[in-house]
Amino acid sequence: MNAATKHAAGAPAPAADRPVLDVAGLTISVRGEDGERPVVSELSFSLARGETLCIAGESGSGKSMTSLAIMALLPQPQARISAGSIRLGDTDLTALDEGRMRRIRGNRIAMIFQEPMTSLNPVLSIGRQLVEAIEAHTGVSSAESRRLAIEALTAVRIPEAESRLKQYPHELSGGMRQRVMIAMALALKPDVLIADEPTTALDVTVQGEVLELLRDLQRQHGTSVILITHDMGVVAEMADRVIIMRYGRMVEQGKVADIFERPQVDYTRDLLAAVPRMGTGGARQVPTDKAEPSQPTDVAVARDLHVRFDLTGGFFGRVNRRVHAVEGISFSIAANETLSLVGESGCGKSTTAKALAGLVPYHGELEIGGRNLKGLGREARKAVRRDVQMIFQDPYASLDPRMRVGDLVAEPLVIHDIGTPGERTERVAALFERVGLSVDQMERYPHEFSGGQRQRICIARALALRPKLIIADESVSALDVSVQARVLQLLKELQAEFGVAYLFISHDMAVVENISDRVAVMYLGQIVEMGTRDQIFSNPRHPYTRRLIEAVPVPDPQRRRARFARMEREIPSPVRKLGDAPQKLVLTDVGGGHLVAESSDR
Amino acid sequence: MTSPIAPEVSAITVPARPRAGVWRRLVRRPLALTGLVIIALTVAGAVLAPYLTGYDPNEQMFDGLTLEGAPLPPSATFWLGTDLLGRDLLTRILHGARTSLIIGIVANGAALLIGTLVGITAGYFRGFVGAALMRFTDLMMAFPALLLAICLAAVFQPSLWIVAMVIALVNWVQTARIVFTETSSLAEREFIDAERTIGAGTLRILFRHILPHLLPTIIVWGTLGISTTVLLEATLSYLGIGVQPPTASWGNIIFENQTYFQAAPWLVFFPGAAILALALAFNLVGDALRDILDPTQRGRA
Amino acid sequence: QETLDPKAKQGGAITITYKDDVATLDPAIGYDWQNWSMIKSLFDGLMDYEPGTTTLRPELAESYEISPDGKTFTFKLRKGVKFHNGREMTADDVKYSLDRVTNPKTQSPGAGFFASINGYDDVAGGKSESLSGVTVVDPSTVKIELSRPDATFLHVMAINFSHVVPKEEVEKYGADFGKHPVGTGAYKMAEWTLGQRLVFERNADYWHKGLPYIDKITFEIGQEPIVALLRLQNGEVDVPGDGIPPAKFQEVMADPEQKARVVEGGQLQTGYVTMNTQMPPFDNVKVRQAVNMAINKDRIVKLINNRAVPANQPLPPSMPGYDKAFAGYAYDVDKAKALLGEAGHPQGFETELFVMNTDPNPRIAQAIQQDLAAIGIKAAIQSLAQANVIAAGGEKGGAPMIWSGGMAWIADFPDPSNFYGPILGCSGAVQGGWNWAWYCNKELDEKAAAADSIVDPAKAEERAKLWGEIYAKVMADAPWAPVFNEQRFTMKSPRMGGDDKLYVDPVHIPINYDYVYVNDVQ
Amino acid sequence: MIAYLTRRLIQAALILLGVSLITFALLYLLPADPVRQIAGRSATPQTVESIRQQLGLDQPFAVQYWRYLTNLVSGDLGRSYIQRSEVSELIVARLPASLLLMVGAIVCELVIGLSMGLVAAVRRGSATDQALMVGSFIGVSAPQFVVGLLLLYVFAVKLGWFPIGGYGTFSHMVLPSLTLGILGAGWYSRMMRSSMIDVLRQDYIRTARAKGLAQRAVLFGHALPNAILPVVAMIGIDIGLFMGGIVVVESVFGWPGIGQLAWQAIQRVDIPIIMGVTLVSACAIVLGNLLADIVAPFIDPRIKLR
Ligand SMILES: Nc1ncnc2c1ncn2[C@@H]1O[C@H](COP(=O)(O)OP(=O)(O)OP(=O)(O)O)[C@@H](O)[C@H]1O
Ligand SMILES: Nc1ncnc2c1ncn2[C@@H]1O[C@H](COP(=O)(O)OP(=O)(O)OP(=O)(O)O)[C@@H](O)[C@H]1O
Ligand SMILES: [Mg+2]
Ligand SMILES: [Mg+2]
Ligand code: NI
């Protein structure tokens, strides 16, 4: 792509010394039931060519709103820019008409959105959505744009890129959807890339790859990047400059090193203090009295769990291939215990969780509280449901958009007939407070919240019933570190108080280390290593586990890696032909219940 | 790690719910208010019909026709003109409102209700129940409405309630079909999964979570259904089921006179306008209701 | 043979429209007013009428003889008459046609007309395939013997059911003969596209040399009368078969140019209200008379834009036997009320009035309803599809009152007896019958039989008078309230030529296809 | 898919069987006696009985129905009582016209309705939106006869652009299709508007716009496929409706469709025709719905055929 032709489409090319993007005095207000209120106030910053600007800060502080304002995609009709200007080179974006703005979008400024599920069109294949983005701004042939699309998918490490083109968003794992979004944004190599929590849903190894991709882009093309993230590790890895936001205002801005070493405001200091760090997780005391019980009551047991999805093809839609999403895994979670499930995106974590929650058909056996999930009556199923709560990976998609969030959180209580209406409201209010939401937000609807806030709503809902087992699918990944710390603390407190067990799915190894009792590492639908936290983190045996741990970004700009390790092997895929079931891995005990799979090559 | 990060919340004060009643919010919208007024006027017109004009709806007046037997156009004596038998059209339209309101609102509403219930159940339940319900719907749909009407007419004494029943029996199927399709798409949404995991029962999922999403569709079918059922009533009456002459209904005033629409346009225009106004009024209210019940539309002027 | 119209030109094509499908064109079966005259143009009978009149004349028969006892009819056939398939028609064909129409397998609705022929009962009962009363004397002579003298028999030989069909074609097409009619008529079938159009082509071999005038008649089917009129005004249609739609009548009559092209004529039709004489309170003659006096016929005629004349007796004015002097029951509300009081219903009563659902019948019914209300009779209207009304009328306690409009009696042939038998006689007052008044007066039945045995044409006057008396007696019992006799208004395009009476021909509705012509051929 | 299709086709056959049984039973119960109509006014009771026997109408219901079914299997729908032709012939003669008009009408409905709905949804709340709403309600509330005749009067009689009714060429098809299109478009436009409004505020629309797609691409490429689902179901319904016939429009435009046949048959209780038309339209409805169900997963891949 020739830069000159591309710029001709939008605004004139920015002079090299001038900032690419200049935001001045930006104020965004939204109209609610109770009148207008600002969500971003007088925000000013600029972005130089080739620079990476990280925006971090409290969840709900207006980061996403700011990026939407730059794209002129603020939610209509509620939100509008009430003051300020956004200049791309010499052009004031706030004054552009829709037609001109359209030529800038995707081409010169691209954006990766926060919620991957709802951001992809459910009825169009991902191939179509990708190719279209490419064709919208370039004149290439359809074969060429298809090739570019495959290239982009491969770049974000989607296995079997070519056949994935035909798949629909709901057939992809959360992480894969996010990678499709990234591929879409990167395909056109824009001048400015706004990435709103781009790696939140990704496991660390892929996160590394994606970050590397961003850097490549920057190097080759001088792209400027606005990276919105809560992950201070990513900030330290990537940022040139950092903006810290809170309550819609910028509280601090500076060079990355300055921010990390000499934070000026209290809030930044708190934020940095809250960052979970690898190796410090030992702070959690494994209760020894519980460690060797006679036979701890298992809250949940999975034995040889299989989940497969049939893929259809051809005109008559016959089943010709199968996704072996979960291939015979077994584990158990005792009361009061936290089992973390880690692994590459698409390895079957969410699917395992859904099977446990009774949402996908499975083979094998699942027991909750000693009851086999198969063949339960209505009442029994309801009782089991009360014991198991799930926090979904994509918070927005899992909240009924037509209900007030207060009602959503109170709903489990209503369903299980707990308390009087008054008591319920109080309990909901208490929950809101504990997850860091204000009580008056109970009256709002899901779409009026930021990504992190929605996730907290989901957490509050799961906690409402005080279940025996909570399945938390990437539940803290979208939270800023301070809230994250607070939520993790809450989870721990609940565990201590009520003996809740957790199946904790996360890609964030630091968080995992922080919270887990035991860790299971999944790869391609199977468990490759399982053991206590210490066994896994201090003595990782399987090469895949080791690579996971190595890939964790360190929240210290001084220890920034020059390059993330690229994996030079074939991208593995759980999609297989009919009758070609993957080989079952054999786990061997290497001592103290530390199970490791034989690995041939790694 | 216990730094206070949450926005300053002092004590847990549960806010008094500031939910203005749906009704109050409805009345605040001028368009919805217009709709409500039209509906109220129609109902009032129907109820008070005998007191509003000086004529009897069935009285064939000698001076209501020209010497050649043609109806009279609107005038000071006959505000909306007279019909082919020399009866006062205004009086007939007012009296006809009774029939038409029952058909357009009661029968149509019943059809909507049945259709929604069937469609939502069939769309949500996989397997036998859903398939059976949908096939039953197909059967009902495949069955000719007119035939059913004629047979019922032959068996029962033609009456308004029979025709209302037939319309309800016949019209629910289309609604069921549409609701079915939408429900089967909604049922695959993740928030429905989420509801299942918190133990929400089927009824709750269906009526608290799926139904509100169907509201726009239901409103569309409900309001458009008013016109079509009122007109359908005329066809059925013509075939001998339903109200018989000289009882007026908007539908049969149009139906009787439509071939005369060039010679006596008022005979078609006024009852047509009445149907249109009623349907529009319900639509205005329905639209407003939908906006009010749809949170994502907040902030719209 | 009458002379040809000297002004007539041969050639050209015309278009006629109809709303409803044309049913079968099998002469033994077709019984709609719509296919009635089409069949007349495709087939011929032994007898026919002078064009535009109700005067009998021989057609396929060259001459006929009636025995003095009136029970034997001998017809001499015309020579050289050919079927459309080229074969010459003979006496065998006549016999075959009569055997066929009376055979129950043919399911002819007109079989009953031939009941007076010897051997009819055997054929109708399935015992025989051949009417013993019909004999082929020689290839051009047929002798028909009757079991009783039948004054209407020549008319029966003129109705469609007796038209001559070729055996070989009937056997070839079987039940579908009605779709592939082959006769001796002036026109032959050229094309029949179901649901769309029928095309008749001039029969060049027609025995009546010089006829017909028109080369091609296209009947377009499925056309709304209002649209047909628009097309007529646009010059696309020559005759709208369904007539001038009521909604347009005044508009047409207000325009002198269009009015000039409208032909008005009488019709062998009476519109009446039947009162079920076996259902109280109509079993009381006073009640029935009261109803007769209560109906304001002038107003009803006005409602249908004066397209009719008020009636006071069953027979229409153009029918022999019509009594011009008959006063009937004059419109008199007070007297009607008084009669009701005498009958024991001073406050009136509630009843039902059945009516067929096509305009203007419900309107007429409503007018009657209002008139009845004036004397206290509250009649609820049952406006139903034709078949349902007919079914109700044929049920003993099915319908207290029926307005006959739309289904009313249009005479099969112009003879007073035709208004009596099935609709006023005892034979019709049975389950499923057409005597909706369920009126049965044995004495009158006998009188009717007597009248019909007066075969001698010379005594026609006497016979007509006898019938007049019968109807006067009927009116005294008042099973009906005659309301009006409809007038026919036929409209034609400017190019249509021929005598006006051809356009209101009493037996050829809407027009006599064989004799009309177009002016714009060279 | 094959399994699904077979299952649905078997179900369809069962539905048709059900329809035929119910229709047959209802017609059996109908008081109007067809034999009387065939036999005519002057028939003797003897003749009536004979005809009744020939038609098998003296048999018990089960026997009559069974005979009808066995004939049906060999494609014999019986003979019309009034017209005396093979019912199958009558229906086949009118089927092409009905199909043509159905296609024309659905195309018109979709073109008019969907574009109205689309514009109204995009211009939501504006004067255009309000005007379109009133327009669609006029379409729904207007009597077919009047609309048809007005169109005929203006475009055929006054302007002479189209023939005054008839059947045959494309230009014959325009006005009847348009009439039905105008009348049906009200439904489609309201439906479309409502589902479009719902779709337009989804996140993926934002994504599509963020890619810099033209408004048209966003609307047609992204919003439409999501909003079209209820519309497709409606087409399924419409197919059935049209195959049952639209009497009024057919007779105004002299269109030789099934509707007129059915209407005449209903008026005269011509039972074999009523049965035949019922079965044909039932077939069309069942197939239309099946089609809509089969298409649905292609439009929304989340829906599974079951
Ligand atoms: N409905 C479905 N149909 C077909 N394939 C599916 C379906 N749902 C999930 N999959 C496939 O199953 C595999 C496992 O998906 P899963 O969502 O469990 O991954 P995950 O481990 O949660 O990944 P992530 O961390 O990215 O969320 C993926 O390859 C995905 O494409
Ligand atoms: N459509 C809306 N209507 C009303 N309020 C909204 C709407 N969308 C967002 N908000 C509010 O605006 C504020 C800023 O939201 P924004 O999405 O920018 O937060 P964020 O900084 O991106 O947070 P996160 O890290 O959790 O994604 C939040 O308080 C949120 O509740
Ligand atoms: Mg955000
Ligand atoms: Mg996942
Ligand atoms: Ni560039």
Residue B9 placed within a domain:
no
Nearest Cβ partner for C109 among D43, D266, D269: D43
Ranges A552-556, B9-13, B60-64: which has the least confidence? B9-13
What local confidence, expressed as pLDDT, does residue C402 receive? 92
- Look up the domain containing D167 and give its range: 94-299
- For the cut 50, the answer to whether the pLDDT of residue A9 exceeds it is no
- For residue A456, give the DSSP letter: H
Indicate yes or no: CB of C387 within 8 angstroms of CB of D32.
yes
The answer to whether residues C85 and C166 touch, using CB atoms and an 8 Å cutoff, is yes
Instruction: Mark whether D272 and D205 lie in a shared domain.
Output: yes
Distance CA C136, CA A145 (A): 92
Asked if residue A395 has its Cβ within 6 Å of ligand 2, the reply is no
3-state secondary structure of A328: strand
User: Of the bound ligands, which one is closest to the alpha carbon of residue A30?
Assistant: 2
Residue B7 placed within a domain:
no
Residue A262 placed within a domain:
yes
Residues in B closer than 8 angstroms to C227, CB to CB, are none
* D73, D106, D121 - which closes a domain: D73
pLDDT tens digit sequence for B91-104: 888 888 888 888 88
Instruction: Mark whether D148 and D291 lie in a shared domain.
Output: yes
Distance CA A54, CA A69 (A): 17
Length of chain B: 301
Q: DSSP string spanning A419-441?
A: S-HHHHHHHHHHHHHHTT--GGG
Per-residue confidence at B15, pLDDT binned at 50, 70, 90?
very low
Question: Closest residue of B to C302, CA-based?
Answer: B69
Residue C463 tokens, joined: 């016979």
CA C106 to chain centre: 21
Please tell me the total count of domains within chain D: 2
Instruction: For residue A83, count CB atoms less than 10 angstroms from its CB and return exposed for 0-12, middle for 13-18, buried for 19 or more.
Output: middle
Find residue D266's DSSP bridge partners. Answer: none
- For the cut 90, the answer to whether the pLDDT of residue C95 exceeds it is yes
Nearest Cβ partner for B201 among A247, A273, A415: A415
What local confidence, expressed as pLDDT, does residue A295 receive? 54
- What distance in angstroms lies between residue A199's CA and the mean position of ligand 1's atoms? 17
- What distance in angstroms lies between residue A230's CA and the mean position of ligand 3's atoms? 10
Please tell me the total count of domains within chain A: 1
Q: What number of C-beta contacts closer than 8 Å exist between A and B?
A: 136
CATH number for the domain spanning B211: value is 1.10.3720.10
Radius of gyration from C-alpha coordinates of chain B: 24
- For the cut 70, the answer to whether the pLDDT of residue C3 exceeds it is no
Nearest Cβ partner for B240 among C306, C360, C388: C388
Q: Given CB atoms, is A359 within the 8 Å cutoff of chain B?
A: yes
What local confidence, expressed as pLDDT, does residue C191 receive? 92
Residue A513 placed within a domain:
no
What local confidence, expressed as pLDDT, does residue B153 receive? 66
Q: Given CB atoms, is B300 within the 8 Å cutoff of chain A?
A: yes
Residue B267 tokens, joined: 């005979």
Mark whether A and B touch (3+ CB pairs within 8 Å): yes
- For the cut 90, the answer to whether the pLDDT of residue C219 exceeds it is yes
CATH number for the domain spanning A223: value is 3.40.50.300
What local confidence, expressed as pLDDT, does residue D58 receive? 83
- For the cut 70, the answer to whether the pLDDT of residue A290 exceeds it is no
What local confidence, expressed as pLDDT, does residue A279 receive? 64
3-state secondary structure of B121: helix
Instruction: Mark whether D244 and D120 lie in a shared domain.
Output: yes
Instruction: Mark whether D22 and D145 lie in a shared domain.
Output: no
What local confidence, expressed as pLDDT, does residue D107 receive? 92
In A144-206, the DSSP E strands lie at 192-196
In B117-176, the residues whose Cβ lies within 8 Å of chain D are 126-127, 130-131, 135, 138-139, 141-144, 146-148, 150-151, 154-155, 174
- Which of D269, D262, D264 has its CA nearest to residue D32? D269
Radius of gyration from C-alpha coordinates of chain C: 23
The answer to whether residues D20 and D68 touch, using CB atoms and an 8 Å cutoff, is yes
The answer to whether residues A397 and A117 touch, using CB atoms and an 8 Å cutoff, is yes
Q: How many H helices and E strands in chain B?
A: 12, 0
Indicate yes or no: CB of A132 within 8 angstroms of CB of D202.
no
Distance CA A275, CA B215 (A): 46
> Which residue type sits at D139?
G
Residue A20 placed within a domain:
yes
Please tell me the total count of domains within chain B: 1
Q: Given CB atoms, is C410 within the 8 Å cutoff of chain D?
A: no
Which of D28, D137, D304 to substitute to test the interface with B, most B CBs within 10 Å? D137
What local confidence, expressed as pLDDT, does residue A286 receive? 47
What local confidence, expressed as pLDDT, does residue C187 receive? 93
- Which of A154, A66, A160 has its CA nearest to residue A114? A66
Nearest Cβ partner for C363 among B58, B85, B259: B85
Asked if residue A145 has its Cβ within 6 Å of ligand 2, the reply is no
Q: Given CB atoms, is D268 within the 8 Å cutoff of chain C?
A: yes
CB proximity list for A170: less than 8 A, separation 6 or greater? A117, A122, B188, D301, D302
Find residue C49's DSSP bridge partners. Answer: C56
Q: Given CB atoms, is A115 within the 8 Å cutoff of chain D?
A: yes
Average pLDDT, chain A: 80
Instruction: Mark whether D161 and D207 lie in a shared domain.
Output: yes
Indicate yes or no: CB of A117 within 8 angstroms of CB of B190.
yes
Mark whether C and D touch (3+ CB pairs within 8 Å): yes
Instruction: Mark whether D20 and D49 lie in a shared domain.
Output: yes
What local confidence, expressed as pLDDT, does residue B301 receive? 36
* Residue of the CA atom closest to atom 1 of ligand 2: A448
What local confidence, expressed as pLDDT, does residue A391 receive? 87
- For the cut 50, the answer to whether the pLDDT of residue A49 exceeds it is yes
Q: Given CB atoms, is A132 within the 8 Å cutoff of chain D?
A: yes
List of chains touching C (3+ CB pairs within 8 A): B, D
What local confidence, expressed as pLDDT, does residue A315 receive? 52
Nearest atom (ligand 1) to Cα of A353? 18
Task: Enumerate residues lining ligand 1, CB below 6 A.
Answer: A 170-176, 201, 203, 309, 323, 325, 345-351, 393, 574
Residue A429 placed within a domain:
no
Q: Given CB atoms, is D45 within the 8 Å cutoff of chain A?
A: no
Query: End-to-end distance of chain D based on CA atoms, in angstroms?
Result: 9
* Residue of the CA atom closest to atom 2 of ligand 1: A171
**C232 membership: H or E segment, kind and range:** helix C225-233
Residue A542 placed within a domain:
no
- Which of C493, C367, C430, C370 has its CA nearest to residue C13? C493
Per-residue confidence at B158, pLDDT binned at 50, 70, 90?
confident
What local confidence, expressed as pLDDT, does residue B268 receive? 85
Can you tell me the mean pLDDT for A369-387? 78
ipTM of the complex: 0.81
Distance CA D77, CA D88 (A): 6
Residue D60 placed within a domain:
yes
Distance CA B87, CA A323 (A): 75
> Which residue type sits at C132?
S
pLDDT tens digit sequence for C294-351: 999 988 998 888 888 999 888 888 888 888 888 888 898 899 888 888 888 888 899 9
- For the cut 90, the answer to whether the pLDDT of residue C199 exceeds it is yes
Instruction: Mark whether D154 and D262 lie in a shared domain.
Output: yes
Nearest Cβ partner for B279 among D141, D145, D149: D141
Angle B196-B200-B202 (CA atoms, 0-180°, nearest 5)? 90
- Look up the domain containing A35 and give its range: 3-273
* D20, D43, D73 - which closes a domain: D73
The answer to whether residues A193 and A182 touch, using CB atoms and an 8 Å cutoff, is no
Can you tell me the mean pLDDT for C477-483? 90
- Percent residues over pLDDT 70 in chain A: 89
Residue A15 placed within a domain:
yes
CB proximity list for C201: less than 8 A, separation 6 or greater? C187, C188, C189, C190, C215, C216
Can you tell me the mean pLDDT for C449-474? 85
What's the order of all strands across the beta sheet hosting A363-368? A371-372, A363-368, A298-313, A318-334, A575-577
pLDDT tens digit sequence for C492-520: 999 888 888 888 888 887 888 888 898 88
In C85-183, the DSSP E strands lie at 134-138, 141-145
Q: Which residue has the higher pLDDT, B13 or C451?
A: C451
What local confidence, expressed as pLDDT, does residue A572 receive? 65
Residue B283 tokens, joined: 């639509």
**B106 membership: H or E segment, kind and range:** none
- Which of B213, D263, B263, A567 has its CA nearest to residue C20? D263
- What distance in angstroms lies between residue A228's CA and the mean position of ligand 5's atoms? 22
- Look up the domain containing B167 and give its range: 30-52+79-297
Instruction: Mark whether D104 and D65 lie in a shared domain.
Output: no
Residues in D closer than 8 angstroms to C241, CB to CB, are none
**Stretches in chain D below the pLDDT threshold 50:** none
